[in-house]
Amino acid sequence: MRNARHFAPRLQRWLAEKAEAQQEAPPAAAPSSPFPVPAPAAVNLLRPPVQLRRPDPTSPPVSGDQDKRQLLVGEYILEYVLKRSSRHSIGFTVDDTGLYVTAPKRCTLGDIDNAIRAKQHWILSKLDERRQRRAARLEKPPMVWEDGAKLPYLGGEITLRLYHAPRNRTEFDPTAMELAMGLVQGATEQLLKERVKSWYKAQAEGLFQQRLDLYAARLGVQYAGFSLSSADTRWGSCTVQRTIRLNWKLIHFSLPLIDYVAAHELAHILEMNHSPRFWANVGRIYPQYEEAKQLLRKRAAELPPLFT
Ligand SMILES: [Zn+2]
């Protein structure tokens, strides 16, 4: 993870310079800032919380009942975290932090090693996929949270405008495609990020609701409810109770991609699987679904890390 401490001083410095510039400007020019220049050392920044995704959301939090183990698989030394649980079979999960194995309490270590070897092809390819994705993310220039920064929005870009304000405020100008954030003195980068994220979520909520209504009518289904999710790897879901969740991060992508996910999840109301019948329903309301599926994957991989 990038060191947020590195950027906060930049933000503070920028705000300080901005305030100074405004104070020095002749009276006819920009109104001078009524706020004193923030003390450069007064940075009160909390590091953003490290998001460690647990492999199984239903499993108990990390505790003493798990341990780190190693196993030689072919030419690889495979490291994994073993967790014991009351489930009846051995389960595998791969995420950015590695491989997690959940096994019934009665399973011997030999049983577990054999199960891993039997699944080694899947495990190694998933680990490799994760590693490549992580490497691709790290190659991208890190987002710098400063005035003029570009943010992805609906497949395009908006410009972040920062200024000093007596109270925190957020305004979006759709013509100029500018998101203006008034920041109180001493505002941290963490606070700025949270506010940008809230703004994204508010936009997502309104827009996704509209798109769901539109496509539900076309498909001839009714959904029971809708909420936003922020899962790392899923764009949407639909429960048997017909509740749809869409990932707010879809707001970064163009409308056709958002529509594809909306149409996909709505089609699950009719078919809770990915059978040919399911895809036929998707195709009825969204004929270009195959292209959208590929493009969504591509765009997701290209997305710069924003809130890490
Ligand atoms: Zn699906």
Output the 3-class SS for 122-143. Answer: HHHHHHHHHHHHHHHHHHCCCC
Q: Determine the average pLDDT of the residues in 101-124.
A: 91
Last residue of a domain, one of 91, 120, 139: 139
- Does 3 have pLDDT greater than 50? no
**What pLDDT is recorded for position 304?**
81
Token output for 251: 């707001």
Q: What is the DSSP letter of 248?
A: G
Predicted confidence band at 5 (pLDDT cuts at 50, 70, 90)?
A: very low
Flag whether pLDDT at 22 surpasses 90: no
CA of 294 to the centre of ligand 1 (A): 14
Consecutive H or E run containing 78? strand 76-85
The pLDDT of residue 237 is: 96
Residue 14 counted as domain residue: no
What was the pLDDT predicted at 17? 58
Q: Are the beta carbons of 294 and 267 closer than 8 angstroms?
A: no
Which DSSP state fits 28?
A: T
Q: Angle formed by the axes of helices 289-302 and 276-285, to 10°?
A: 90
Higher pLDDT, 122 or 159: 159
What's the rounded mean pLDDT across residues 272-279?
Answer: 96
Q: How many CB atoms lie within 10 A of CB 166?
A: 10
CA of 279 to the centre of ligand 1 (A): 9
| Centre of ligand 1 from the C-alpha of residue 231, in Å | 15
Ligand 1 centre and the CA of 248: distance in Å? 17
Q: Which of 97, 114, 139 is the last residue of a domain?
A: 139
Q: How far does the centroid of ligand 1 lie from the alpha carbon of residue 273, in Å? A: 7
pLDDT per residue as tens digits for the range 60-100: 334 445 688 888 887 778 889 999 988 889 999 888 788 99
Distance from residue 265's CA to the centre of ligand 1 (Å):
6
* Ramachandran quadrant class, 174 (left: phi over 0; alpha: psi -120 to 50; beta: rest): alpha
| Chain centroid, CA 254 distance in Å | 16
pLDDT in the model for residue 158: 97
Q: 172-185: string of b/e by CB count within 10 Å (b at 16+)?
A: eeeeeeebbbbbeb
Compare 113 and 12 and report the one with higher pLDDT.
Answer: 113
Q: Find the 257 Cα to ligand 1 centroid distance in Å.
A: 14
Q: What's the total number of domains in the chain? A: 2
Question: 103, 124, 139: which is the final residue of a domain?
Answer: 139
Rg (C-alpha) for the chain, rounded Å, is 24
- How far is ligand 1, taken at its centre, from the CA of residue 104, in Å? 29
Confirm whether 16 is domain-assigned: no
The three-point CA angle 104-106-112 to 5° equals: 65
Which pLDDT value is given to residue 18? 56
Going from the Cα of 274 to the center of ligand 1, the distance in angstroms, rounded, reads: 6
Is residue 9 in a domain?
Answer: no
- The whole-number pLDDT of residue 13 equals 61
Determine the angle formed by the axes of helices 255-267 and 289-302, rounding to 10 degrees.
120
Domain identity same for 211 and 132: no
From ligand 1's centre to the CA of 258, what distance in Å? 14
Check residue 12 and give its pLDDT: 59
Angstrom distance (rounded) from CA 101 to CA 139: 30
Query: Considering only CA atoms, which of 257, 71, 296, 75 is closest in space to residue 92?
Result: 71
Establish if 266 belongs to a structural domain.
Answer: yes
Q: In angstroms, what is the span from residue 160 Cα to ligand 1's centroid?
A: 34
- Quick check: is 169 in a domain? no
- CATH code of residue 277: 3.30.2010.10
Q: How far is the centre of ligand 1, averaged over its atoms, from the C-alpha of 268 (Å)?
A: 7
* Ligand 1 midpoint to CA 216 (Å): 16
Q: How far is the CA of 28 from the centre of ligand 1 (A)?
A: 59
The owner of tokens 């991989």 is: 301
- Residue 218, pLDDT > 90, answer yes
Q: Which of 196, 200, 192 is nearest to 12 (CA)?
A: 192
Please compute the mean of the pLDDT values over residues 257-268 and round it to a whole number: 98
Instruction: Specify whether 215 is located in the same domain as 133.
Output: no
Please give the Cα distance from 267 to 236 (Å, whole number).
Answer: 12
Q: Is the pLDDT of residue 220 over 90?
A: yes
Q: Is the distance from CB of 187 to CB of 168 less than 8 angstroms?
A: yes
pLDDT digits (tens, 9 = 90+) for 195-210: 999 999 999 999 999 9
Taking the C-alpha atoms of residue 171 and residue 73, their distance in angstroms, rounded to an integer, is 55
Does the residue 152 lie in any domain? no
User: Looking at the chain, how many residues does it have?
Assistant: 308
Alpha helices in 70-119 (DSSP H): 109-118
Percent of the chain exceeding pLDDT 70 equals: 78
**160, 181 in Cβ contact below 8 A?**
yes
Say what the pLDDT of residue 9 is.
Answer: 54
In a domain, 13, yes or no: no
Asked if residue 41 has pLDDT above 50, the reply is no
Residue found by looking up tokens 């009846």 in the block: 88
What residues make up the domain containing 294? 198-302
Evaluate whether residue 229 is within a structural domain: yes
